[in-house]
Chains A and B, each alone.
Chain A
């Protein structure tokens, strides 16, 4: 059978071999955690705890502040030292709590020692067989689960499509099309049965008649085989879509096109074509929250790149500073030139290693000049490579020329709002034009334009 795929795209050097055979490892708690309130798309959560408070693992630190928002929990028991404004990935700062893991402070002299409960807080476990849709969605909301695919969209919102958008397919995104990243691959191999449970729970949340599937790129044959076995063992109907290894196969719109041949219209969400897409990590987080009553405490991430001493797949407490994760992997080599949080195609180069790991952090890459050579921008020679590669059929070179002239309305007319900043265009550009940078600039300015009159 021909492998499923989409039109356009590129095939970057994968570098998966650096880390794909490293089993998941739990990193011990660092000395300090910096837990931000806004770890998701939408409004930041409102803080509930004060300086000096002792918090238990799983305790709510900040509560959801709206429909598109998510609460934040204590990843581990410890004491809140203070609220600070600190660096976050992406080059800005944000409000966060400094949490020092450990036992509560001993009482001062003269004060009576009050007994303090130091056991982790768990939500009541829900029995699989009697689960209802409302129960699952409420639990996902309560646990503060957000999408692990990069955008960190609150998952409960995704599981509650409006009644006029009937859903008939739920597909797990196991494409992991970003080079280097192998965390989903490891999760699929090491928690295969749990993943199948997670998929079935999401299916229950979406209601009767929803088909279930998982899309995996062909470069992960062991994961494909493991899932097929686990699905057979569980005796459930989950389709495994084998996808061509091509970037951005894991883009929601590309995945739906590849698996089902349905194209999500410009500006619309997957539910428009009856689909819900969830990441592998998200499905496992849902399973853990529902069956084990656990809230997300750890981010599963890949530390890789030719510039890191020991590439690893790790489970890291949320709030762990990047520098501690890098130190746990043996530090960097002298050839390190760039540190990227996320995958190489869409991740952010970071200037500060004090920035913390958050719920949706997928990777930390230490890149050398060999992998990411900085190059000077040259004149566009109209080669059209960006146009043939763009998975959503934009004209990147034309948009960038317009952006340089600040002709924002025209970039909107050419459809710039559908750009997902996947980086495919800039990857192919022989003139090394930072196309994504200009496209982002244009998108930002288009958002600020007055609404188009109908």
Chain B
């Protein structure tokens, strides 16, 4: 049999006892959870930049408050539970960033901080941490803020500088409670595309959101089916109502409020969306339908947040009933 010396001669300086013994495959795509989360954060940079351009540097304080609340909670609970460090996976910071972008400009950084604590503490960790949460954590934080600080969450008056007085009310608010004729026509669409309208910090510029969408699609991070089904659903369902004489044009539905931001950054959250191709279409279409129903018949001007949270709850059911047929099964 082989002697020790012959082993050493074959392996040179490598110790046989230190060879990796792991199961196949011995090759990997190279991506990690952290790389995905940080890439999504990078895809949000255009939204942050346009927010600063339209609303001023104050928005950065609000975003920072939300990130501190979210990441601080993740860090503290991790320490208390003696769990491995999870901050580098970028997930908690991304949650804070998303939350900071879906509150009004001028929103108190302290309140944003509290929202961040709730987003990660209740929205994520209470369910078992990353991967086990049922509801989109950033939207859980936002729902909490909406319930706790309703006045501040609907105060768009801080939308100063480049956004004119009329659009300091949000386009959807104008549509619901004001005079819809003040916001119509091609100019309105142009303003919605650029972002020169009142609205949440990150949701103001459709162009910035679409740049982010391109990044998520080119890197194949986001499932295109979810974005496509939600936007297509918005156009189809909005169009059906519009043709029946109810509500604004379908394009307005998709470009105004948080619809596009929700479709690109919120609905595509892996953990809280279906993982089967058919399920993704049902999920995106469902969010679009619920959003439009809330906007047209509910008590609120906007409905994206509740629509996504409601559809989050249906994901296990959707996954169960949309399982793809096995290869070759009839």
Q: Which residues of A contact B (CB under 8 A)?
A: 10, 12-13, 91, 179, 253, 257, 263-266, 268, 321, 323, 326-327, 331-334, 336-340, 342, 344-354, 365, 367, 371-375, 378-384, 387-388, 391-395, 397-398, 414-415, 418, 421, 423-424, 426-432, 434, 436-437, 440
B57 nearest CB across to chain A (Å): 33
Pairwise interchain contact B20-A337, C-beta atoms closer than 8 A: yes
Pairwise interchain contact B12-A326, C-beta atoms closer than 8 A: no
Counting chain B CB atoms within 10 Å of each CB, which of A337, A354, A365, A427 scores highest? A427
19 contacts between A and B (CB under 8 A): A12-B29, A179-B27, A323-B6, A323-B7, A332-B14, A340-B26, A347-B26, A348-B24, A353-B16, A373-B28, A382-B270, A383-B275, A384-B275, A384-B276, A423-B27, A424-B25, A430-B36, A436-B24, A440-B23
**B16 — which chain A residues lie within 8 A by C-beta?**
351-353
Pairwise interchain contact B327-A393, C-beta atoms closer than 8 A: yes
List which B123-152 residues lie within 8 A (CB) of chain A: 129-132
A126 nearest CB across to chain B (Å): 37
CA distance A354 to B1 in the complex (A): 8
Pairwise interchain contact A381-B131, C-beta atoms closer than 8 A: yes
Counting chain B CB atoms within 10 Å of each CB, which of A393, A397, A429 scores highest? A393
Stretch at the interface among B161-169, B175-183, B318-326: B318-326
Known interface pairs A332-B12, A351-B21, A387-B275; A382-B32 also in contact (CB < 8 Å)? no
Pairwise interchain contact A382-B12, C-beta atoms closer than 8 A: no
Q: Which residues of B contact A (CB under 8 A)?
A: 1-2, 6-7, 9-14, 16, 19-29, 31-33, 35-36, 89, 91, 129-132, 223, 270-271, 273, 275-277, 319, 323-330
Pairwise interchain contact B130-A349, C-beta atoms closer than 8 A: no
A315 nearest CB across to chain B (Å): 20
Pairwise interchain contact B12-A253, C-beta atoms closer than 8 A: no
Pairwise interchain contact A381-B12, C-beta atoms closer than 8 A: no
**A431 — which chain B residues lie within 8 A by C-beta?**
32-33, 131
The secondary structure that dominates the A interface is loop
Counting chain B CB atoms within 10 Å of each CB, which of A344, A367, A378 scores highest? A378
**B14 — which chain A residues lie within 8 A by C-beta?**
332, 334, 336-337
**A349 — which chain B residues lie within 8 A by C-beta?**
19-24, 26
B43 nearest CB across to chain A (Å): 15
CA distance A440 to B23 in the complex (A): 10
Closest 6 CB pairs of A and B: A423-B25, A384-B275, A263-B328, A392-B327, A379-B131, A338-B20
Pairwise interchain contact B19-A423, C-beta atoms closer than 8 A: no
**A333 — which chain B residues lie within 8 A by C-beta?**
12
Known interface pairs A348-B24, A373-B28, A430-B31; A264-B328 also in contact (CB < 8 Å)? yes
Pairwise interchain contact B9-A331, C-beta atoms closer than 8 A: yes
Pairwise interchain contact B326-A436, C-beta atoms closer than 8 A: no
Pairwise interchain contact A268-B26, C-beta atoms closer than 8 A: no
CA distance A179 to B323 in the complex (A): 31
CA distance A434 to B26 in the complex (A): 11
B271 nearest CB across to chain A (Å): 5
